[in-house]
Structure 1
Amino acid sequence: MKRLILLLLLAACAKPQPGEPVGGLLEVYRDRSVPIGSALNFDAGRYAGKWYEVARYPVPFETGCVGVTAEYAALPDGGLSVLNTCRNTDGSVRSTIQGRADVVGPGRLSVSFDTIPFPADYWVLWIDEGYRTAVVGAPNGRSGWILNRDPQIPADRLRASRDVLEFNGYDLGRLVEVSQ
């Protein structure tokens, strides 16, 4: 029995490489040996509002989703409420999930959703000066998004967003553009 527990602990500590399945559920999309940084100039109040997902790394909870949006609203305690909406190709709402984001450092959010028993670390890796485009990633490399205030992103900000992902060790070959 001790040997089985030891093997399970060792397996849990194994470091997956980019694109490698993790526990059969999530994949890792970034080289975790590359240091990841968050936006030091992050302002949660300016981040509040509606964001359109223009590109993402595949995650199970967004399979088949198009027209994905994330809406953040400032809370009195400094946190943000979160409402993520997934749509079908005909524009109808497929699913929504509500949660809360707490700022735990510059550009670093701890996000908890009502139906998920554990929080996730989402770091704002870059946000343009006008708060029109944001790149969000996870230190564990299992997720990443390019968000924009409008459904269509200008080519220069898309290129800058992709550069930020690549700089932070993400595999751009796995990035999927999302229809709005």
Structure 2
Amino acid sequence: MIHHRSGWNFLLLVGLLAGNGVWLVHSQVPFPGQCPEVKIMDTFDVDSYLGIWYEHSKYPFAFEIGKKCIYADYEIIDNATLSVVNGGINRITGNPSNISGTAKVIGPARLAVAFFPGQQTSKPNYLVLGTDYESYSVVYSCTSVTSLANIKLVWILTREREPSAETIASAKKILEENKINQSFLIDTIQSNCPKLAANGTDFGVEDLTEDPVDEFVGTVLPNAIDKA
């Protein structure tokens, strides 16, 4: 619960971030205070992490609004750098799109992912909190805007488009251990998805009626606020 002057300062800062577009660029989930401590993996096998990961769920992220069938593909460039391809399907047009970038290995389970020229790669912005390499990965990023607020991104990635309940339970256990709020997670649609080499997709009826963004705004966010 936010109280008195610090609460008003936080709400004012959120308004400024939204007005300047900073909030929308990074995340739609601001939190009060600075970034909390989280447990990052002590050892990390980059080679075992390579390949395709499908996005199961995430904190709301402006760049992914209106997309389904989202995936990430990591391949080796050299000992310290990976290539990154993030792709998905536009739920309205059915057209695929992707963006390419690089991931610099800063330390064990600490990567600096960049998609644009001049983007900083000296500090990690992709932290792997846990993975078994074969079924799930929990990825976390947090930026302290000031001492008053931080913005977070959280992803649960899986090797299968439709993972088992046991796989997701293992991933969410890592979130629980790090005291990361799961109320803001929204599921990514991974049904009626084409093969990654295809140029189009079937557009099912459920895609027109089940909108995770609308669900977040109408249900998840109010419930999370009530629990704060």
TM-score of the aligned structures, taking structure 2 as reference length: 0.63
**Partner of 1:162 in structure 2?**
172
Distance 1:67 1:138 in 2: 22
SS of equivalent residue, structure 1 residue 158: helix
Q: Is the 8 A contact 2:135 2:167 kept in 1?
A: no
Question: For the structure 1 residues 89 and 29, does the alpha-carbon distance in structure 2 shift closer, same or farther, using more than 3 Å as the test?
Answer: farther
**Partner of 1:131 in structure 2?**
134
Candidates 81, 84, 101, aligned match of 1:82: 84
Does 2:112 match 1:110?
yes
My pick for the range that moved more, 27-36 or 133-142, is 27-36
SS of equivalent residue, structure 2 residue 155: strand
Q: Deviations over 1:95-115 (max 9, x none)?
A: 311110111111111111136
SS of equivalent residue, structure 2 residue 78: coil
Deviation at residue 58 of structure 1 after TM alignment: 0.4
Q: Deviations over 1:127-178 (max 9, x none)?
A: 01x4321000013352110001110111112012112123223211110011
4+ aligned runs moved over 6 Å, structure 1: none
Amino acid at match of 1:161: A
Deviation at residue 42 of structure 1 after TM alignment: 1.2
**Which has the larger helix fraction?**
2
Distance 1:164 1:29 in 2: 20
Q: Structure 1: which 5+ runs fail to align? A: 1-14
Q: Is the 8 A contact 1:28 1:143 kept in 2?
A: no
Amino acid at match of 1:59: F
**Partner of 2:17 in structure 1?**
23
**Which has the larger strand fraction?**
1
Higher radius of gyration, 1 or 2: 2
Question: For the structure 1 residues 173 and 124, does the alpha-carbon distance in structure 2 shift closer, same or farther, using more than 3 Å as the test?
Answer: same
**Partner of 1:47 in structure 2?**
49
Distance 2:70 2:32 in 1: 22
Q: Structure 2: which 5+ runs fail to align? A: 1-8, 144-150, 191-228
Distance 1:109 1:103 in 2: 5
Deviation at residue 94 of structure 1 after TM alignment: 4.1
Deviation at residue 117 of structure 1 after TM alignment: 3.4
Let me know the Cα RMSD of the aligned residues: 2.7
